[in-house]
Structures are given as C-alpha cells and as structure tokens.
C-alpha cells in the first residue's frame, strides 16, 4: 500500500483540531495511543457490563409472575445482549476483536460495573434495577451520545433509546406492585433499600479520587464528572421515589435550598473498592456463569467455522 508520510506533529494537530471543534474522530483517523487505550477500556468495560448484567435479571425470567412480565423481562435481557454486541462492535473498529475482549473479561483483566455483583433476591429487584440501576446508567450514558469517538457515540444513541424503555418498565412494575398487596409493597421497599447505595456507587469514586477523569473530559470521551452525574441522579430520583411511595434509605437526604440540589450521605467507598477488587457478594458466581457459557459454546463456534470453511472450499 502507498502511504503518504505525515509528520507526527501534523497528525496530533489535526486530532486536537477535530476535538476542539467538537467533531467526531472516526476509525481511520490517527489518534494518540492513550486516547485509543482509554476508549477501548471504557467501551469494553461497558460492553462487559451489559453482558454480565444479563445475569441478575435473567435469573428471574423463569419465575416472572405473569406472562406479560415474562415477555417484558425476556425482551429486556435480550436487549442487553444487543447492547453488549453494539459496544463490542465499536471496540472492533479500533482493531480489538471480540474474542480478545472476552478473554480479557474471563481472565479478570477487564472489569464490569460493580452493581452486577449484587444479588437479586425478589421479583421487585427486576423493577428496582430498571428504575435505579438503568436510571443511573442513563445518566451516565446520555452524555456519551455526544462522545468524540464516532462509532461509540452511534452505539450509545441506539442503546439510550432502548434504555429509556428499560427504566420505564422497571418503574411501572414497582408502581403496579405498590397498588397490590401489603406483601408486595414490602417487597418493593426492601428492594429499594438494598439497591439505593450500590446505585449511587455506579457513578464511580468521588471526583477527587478519579485519576483519569480530567483527561477523558478534555478528549470528549467523558462529558460530565462522577459527582455531577451522581447529583443529577439523586435530584431526578427523589421526586420519583415520592410518587412511588417508597423512602430512600438515607437519613441525610434533604433538599438544600441554597444549592438548589439535594444533599445526601456518603456511599461506603470501602464497599465499592471491595466489590471492584472481586470481593462482592456475586463476583465469583457471575464470572463462573459467563465462563461456562463461553466454554460450553466453544464446540458450536468451531463446528460452524468448520462447516463454513468446507462450504467455502466446495
């Protein structure tokens, strides 16, 4: 192939100029290695989260208490497989294959969102995950539709459209249960109590402890700081909780007239660190499930490749 020599300074300047005018970087553009590394890490972690995230809710498909809920839940978990697939595809535009990323997940060298290491203990958790966990995810993800890397932004636009349905179905399930029996109302409150703090942790550590944030923001890979997004989520969720008729388990939670925001308590960052380290309630179980699916499927993937090769040779 014929290449036109271009000076490194010129490449870097072109990259910076694209970022500065809020235009998109596309796969064939030159980009700093650190930018590419950050993107791959972030997109892969997001993809892994979608795939691992199928498990806590997927565990309830077989036990969904109505056929309508079963259909909604199955379609939702299926969407998550789709989201993982879109994001792996976005990674592949940077030359990292899905097989490589799967390997990195299964060997523990890449992470997924800590929230999926918490167990789901009742059907109300399906609603709470939709409302709080998907709600937090949407806060994180909507700004990423404008991220500087083209394929990532396009994947996120597709994903966000579907996520908004996910959040609504969760909230609607909880609303319906709150109109049901006393036992159902208790289930909802108990579930919200368990998921509130882990949901706040989904935004990551406080800004002061988030070393990569500043550079990611300068590159337009990230659009808002962890604390900004966390505050936005709390402000958005409080009135929803009131409408639902549940309490959020934080005695420090109150409206601050002066700031125009809600004040809220500090999540247990030790717990977050432990879950990320692999000491969460379900880390081992989630990884074992994923590994088993991957290994059990190896002979199928091989068979299809062998069949295609033979058919191609004929």
Q: What part of residues 242-301 is at the interface with other proteins (CB under 8 A)?
A: 276, 289, 292-293, 296-301
Q: Toward other proteins, which CB reaches closer, 229 or 250? A: 229
- Sole window of 24-32, 129-137, 194-202, 232-240 interacting with other proteins (rule: CB under 8 A): 24-32
Structure tokens at 43: 């997109």
DSSP state of 149: B
**Cα atoms in the 13 Å half-sphere on the side-chain side of 113:** 26
Q: Toward other proteins, which CB reaches closer, 115 or 262? A: 115
Residues facing residue 262 across a β-bridge: 255
Q: Toward other proteins, which CB reaches closer, 133 or 262? A: 133
Q: Toward other proteins, which CB reaches closer, 20 or 298? A: 298
Q: Toward other proteins, which CB reaches closer, 71 or 255? A: 71
Q: Quick one: which of 123, 197, 233, 264 contacts other proteins (CB under 8 A)?
A: 123
Q: Quick one: which of 9, 208, 312, 313 contacts other proteins (CB under 8 A)?
A: 312
Distance CA(168)–CA(188), nearest Å, equals 16
Distance CA(25)–CA(267), nearest Å, equals 36
Q: Quick one: which of 100, 190, 227, 235 contacts other proteins (CB under 8 A)?
A: 100
Q: Is 124 exposed, middle or buried (0-12, 13-18, 19+ CB in 10 A)?
A: buried
Residue 305, Cα to own-chain centre: how many angstroms?
Answer: 31
CB of 238 to other proteins, least distance (A): 20
Rounded to 5 degrees, what angle do the CA atoms 140, 142, 148 make? 95
Q: Which helix (H) or strand (E) holds 256?
A: strand 254-256
Q: Scan residues 187-246 and list those touching other proteins (CB under 8 A).
A: 204, 212
**Cα atoms in the 13 Å half-sphere on the side-chain side of 7:** 3
CB of 249 to other proteins, least distance (A): 24
Q: Of 213, 177, 205, which Cα lies nearest the Cα of 270?
A: 205
Q: Which helix (H) or strand (E) holds 83?
A: helix 67-92
Q: Would you call 112 helix, strand, or coil by DSSP? A: coil
Q: Would you call 36 helix, strand, or coil by DSSP? A: helix
Q: Toward other proteins, which CB reaches closer, 69 or 262? A: 69
Distance CA(272)–CA(277), nearest Å, equals 8
Q: Quick one: which of 155, 156, 201, 229 contacts other proteins (CB under 8 A)?
A: 155
Q: Of 61, 173, 60, 184, which Cα lies nearest the Cα of 127?
A: 173
CB of 240 to other proteins, least distance (A): 13
Q: Does 12 bind other proteins (CB under 8 A)?
A: no
Q: Scan residues 36-95 and list those touching other proteins (CB under 8 A).
A: 36-37, 40-42, 45, 51, 54-55, 58, 61-72, 74-75, 77-79, 81-82, 84-86, 88-89, 92-95
- Sole window of 28-36, 191-199, 233-241, 261-269 interacting with other proteins (rule: CB under 8 A): 28-36
Q: Toward other proteins, which CB reaches closer, 39 or 248? A: 39
- Sole window of 174-182, 195-203, 228-236, 245-253 interacting with other proteins (rule: CB under 8 A): 174-182
Q: Toward other proteins, which CB reaches closer, 29 or 268? A: 29
């Amino acid at each position: 192939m014929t290449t036109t020599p271009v000076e490194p300074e010129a490449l870097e300047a072109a990259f910076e100029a694209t970022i500065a005018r809020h235009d998109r970087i596309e796969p064939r553009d030159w980009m700093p290695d650190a930018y590419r590394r950050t993107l791959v890490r972030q997109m892969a972690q997001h993809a892994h989260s979608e795939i691992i995230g199928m498990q806590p809710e997927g565990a309830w498909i077989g036990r969904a208490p109505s056929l309508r809920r079963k259909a909604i839940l199955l379609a939702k978990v299926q969407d998550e497989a789709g989201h993982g697939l879109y994001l792996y595809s976005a990674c592949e535009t940077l030359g990292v294959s899905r097989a490589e990323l799967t390997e990195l997940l299964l060997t523990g060298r890449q992470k997924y969102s800590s929230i999926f290491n918490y167990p789901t203990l009742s059907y109300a958790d399906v609603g709470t995950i939709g409302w709080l966990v998907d709600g937090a995810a949407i806060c994180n993800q909507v700004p990423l539709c404008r991220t500087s890397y083209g394929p990532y932004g396009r994947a996120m636009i597709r994903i966000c459209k579907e996520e908004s349905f996910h959040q609504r179905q969760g909230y609607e399930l909880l609303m319906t249960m709150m109109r049901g029996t006393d036992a159902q109302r208790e289930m909802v409150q108990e579930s919200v109590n368990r998921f509130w703090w882990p949901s706040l942790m989904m935004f990551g550590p406080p800004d002061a402890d988030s070393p990569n944030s500043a550079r990611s923001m300068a590159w337009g890979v990230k659009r808002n700081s962890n604390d900004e997004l966390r505050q936005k989520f709390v402000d958005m969720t409080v009135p929803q909780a009131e409408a639902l008729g549940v309490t959020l388990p934080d005695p420090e939670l109150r409206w601050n007239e002066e700031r125009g925001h809600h004040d809220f308590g500090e999540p247990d960052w030790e717990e977050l660190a432990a879950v990320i380290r692999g000491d969460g309630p379900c880390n081992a179980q989630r990884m074992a499930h994923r590994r088993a699916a991957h290994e059990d499927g190896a002979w199928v993937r091989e068979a299809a490749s062998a069949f295609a090769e033979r058919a191609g040779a004929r």
